[in-house]
Amino acid sequence: MIYMLYLLLVLAWAIVSIGFWRKDYAITAIGAMFMMVLGVYIMINGLWDIDNWLTQATATIHILTGAYLFIRGGYEAYKNM
């Protein structure tokens, strides 16, 4: 059985990819926020009750990637106004 968190991570990356493909900031921002929330969840609970440095690194990567996409997309949307 596939762990539900992995499906949610794939969904978050898919939403961000669709946002890039359509060049729509709102969709990308939703995916970025979802990615940050999942990163915090992974940081607190771990992946499959595993809590080691690799899990913390994965969570940190998702949080920072989501934050970068959210901030950069907001800046691009503001700059194009």
pLDDT (0 to 100) of residue 2: 65
pLDDT (0 to 100) of residue 81: 77
**pLDDT tens column, 32-79:** 999 999 999 999 988 877 778 889 999 999 999 999 999 998 888 888
pLDDT (0 to 100) of residue 72: 92
Compute the distance between CA of residue 72 and CA of residue 25 in angstroms, rounded to an integer: 10
Compute the distance between CA of residue 28 and CA of residue 3 in angstroms, rounded to an integer: 24
For range 22-36, the mean pLDDT = 93
The answer to whether the beta carbons of residues 39 and 18 sit under 8 Å apart is no
Compute the distance between CA of residue 64 and CA of residue 59 in angstroms, rounded to an integer: 9
pLDDT (0 to 100) of residue 67: 96
pTM: 0.88
Long-range contacts of 71-75 (CB under 8 A, 24+ apart): 73/25, 73/28, 73/29, 73/32, 74/25, 74/29
> Where in the chain are the domains?
4-79
